[in-house]
Amino acid sequence: MVARILAIAGSDSGGGAGIQADIKTITALGGYAMTAVTAITVQNTQGVGAVHGVPPEIVAGQIRACIDDIGVDAIKIGMLGNEAVINAVADALAGVNVPIVLDPVMIAKGGAALIEEEAVWAMMQRLLPMASVITPNVPELVALTETEVEDAADMLLAAQELLNAGPMNSRAAVLAKGGHLEGDQLTDWLVTRQGHLAFTDAKIETKSSHGTGCTLSSALACSLGQGMALPEAVQRARAFVRLALRSAPGLGQGHGPMGHGQVVNDISAPAPVLNQITVPATDYATSLAFYRQLGLRLIVDSPDNGYARFEAGNGVTLSIHVGDGQAGGATVYLESLRLDAWVAALIAAGLVFEQLPQDEDWLWREARLRDPAGNRICLYAAGEARRFPPWRV
């Protein structure tokens, strides 16, 4: 059955954040999105002009209507606005035993306050005990812990303080997001009572970052609802955000929306995804011209290596490689987040590999074997390096 994900959040008329981002994210990741709208905002890429709160009983009614009929596998909670809505949400979720991801939305990208000051205490007391994961950014972490955060080390300490000093349940976790910190690297900390884990990547410089927090939390909720373990769910959610940032359509005059709908054939499902094929070539220039003539978009052009990669309209990529196998042959690529575990299971089942998983110079992790007919099969994990390698043209 498809994972049923309930997003409880505000509406963004500009479509980049809030419930709109939640629906796009959950749908792209293969879940079924349900919503309980807590507020209607007058909003675009330049900021929030006005907020109209939805009556608490209507918010609670939406929640009950979804759960009582359709059921739910995970819940994401975003913008709540005021104490009355917080209490209504907490009451409506009483007794619901599924993963709950709490994104403590306080300030919009443009700086507008999205929660009443006195409501923060109510959120701490009513919703933190229910949360499986809370996902504060640096300003939210500072507000919730009343500590200063200047770097990644401070962020880790503050996240540990929130986990241990707050009313969170014993199995809960904090995913502290470091996007507001200075530097070229971005580190997020996943903190549990068993320890902590850092997720670090190079920052993506872009103005099209509206809705990153909403997208991350809904992607995390969807992944947990699909049965992923927490660290794996965090990895997938972060990868989805990064791919959506890189795929942004460049709309608006302020902080633009991300490209949720363009994250295709990358990490849309926990199961293996067929998204890449390499065919041998004998004449590089002739093959390059042929595939460009077919309408494929050239994204890697490396004549010295006899290698080029093209992207089709649905995001699937095809490569040509001079000297890689006999003409008329091909390599079929299957990508999975669980590459090493997948390979181990296949070996246990009796399959023989020519190459066990190893990191390659082109930033993919690959394992190789052949099918019964002798065709080459590559099982791999590349994430954003398939469509967005550092040398992308």
Task: Write down all domains in the chain, each with its CATH number in brackets.
Answer: 4-262 (3.40.1190.20), 273-385 (3.10.180.10)
Q: Give the separation between CA 191 and CA 234, rounded to whole angstroms.
A: 12
SS3 content of the chain, % helix, strand, coil (to 5): 35, 30, 40
Q: Give the separation between CA 333 and CA 381, rounded to whole angstroms.
A: 10
User: How would you classify the pairing of strands 365-370 and 355-359?
Assistant: antiparallel
- Classify the phi-psi angles of 142: left when phi > 0, otherwise alpha if psi is within -120 to 50, otherwise beta: alpha
- For 1, residues 6+ apart whose C-beta sits below 8 A from its C-beta are none
| pLDDT tens for the chain, residues 1 to 393 | 899 999 999 999 999 999 999 999 999 999 999 999 999 999 999 999 999 999 999 999 999 999 999 999 999 999 998 999 999 999 999 999 999 999 998 876 555 566 777 788 889 899 999 999 999 999 999 988 889 999 999 999 999 999 987 677 888 999 999 988 999 999 999 999 999 999 999 999 999 999 999 999 999 999 999 999 999 999 999 999 999 999 999 999 999 999 998 887 676 666 788 889 998 888 899 999 999 988 889 999 999 999 999 998 878 898 999 987 776 667 888 888 889 998 999 999 999 999 999 999 999 999 998 887 687 889 999 988 998 999 999
The pLDDT assigned to 109 comes to 59
The pLDDT assigned to 282 comes to 86
**By the 8 A CB rule, do 202 and 186 touch?**
yes
The SS3 assignment for 322 reads: strand
- What is the per-residue burial (b if ≥16 Cβ within 10 Å, else e) of 69-78? eeebbbbbbb
**By the 8 A CB rule, do 298 and 310 touch?**
yes
Q: Give the separation between CA 334 and CA 57, rounded to whole angstroms.
A: 48
**pTM, to two decimals:** 0.85
The pLDDT assigned to 164 comes to 87
